[in-house]
Amino acid sequence: MFSLQILWGIEVQAQTADNQAELEQAKQVAVQFLTAAREGRIDDAKRLVTATATDELQLQFKSDSQRLKAVPPPEFQFALPLKSKSFDPAEHEAQLVYASKQDGKWTTTTLRLYRYDNDPYRVEFWKVGDNEPNLFAMSDDPVLKKMPTIMLWIFLGMAAVGLILLFLILWLIRRKPRLVAPENEVERRVAAITRREEEAVE
């Protein structure tokens, strides 16, 4: 399941940005925002958010900063697929997930970044939570959400087919006719009788 998540993560990253360079631009802004939040620099963080997110930043910056400061620096986990895509080719969005683990507990930050045309990326939404970073559980894509269940049924189906084939092979082997080797003692008796008959004729 872990390898499947990695494969999906690679595919999702390709869908989230036009190319790897586009994704790297979004990641640079996300790291700057998270660093400013951990260090309590609200003015620097404000320069990295969209105008619509300024009020939200004022409301939750202090609590988010304290939570991020109490744990190790978050590391990039994966990019989430976008729920909807704009028809305007000049619009670019990315959803990134960063997380850190301490004493067996996760602190996960989800960020949605946006830019128009050649403007730099800006953070328009973020959320700090205690959930473990999980591509399938966190995605808004209905196909990704159902993927663990789909894969479970696929594995169960493959196991059932394998068992049926195994029983079929065993059944065919048991029904195969077997050649029974003649007993050597019978051959010796026949040879002895033949010799006595030959001696009697002489």
Structure confidence by residue, pLDDT tens digits, 126-154? 999 999 888 776 666 555 555 555 566 67
Q: Look up residue 201 and give its amino acid.
A: V
Binned at pLDDT 50, 70 and 90, residue 17 comes out as very low
Of the listed ranges 17-21, 67-71, 156-160, 167-171, the one predicted with least confidence: 17-21
Q: In what order do the strands lie in the sheet with 75-80?
A: 75-80, 91-102, 105-116, 122-129
The tokens describing 150, both together, are 């789909």
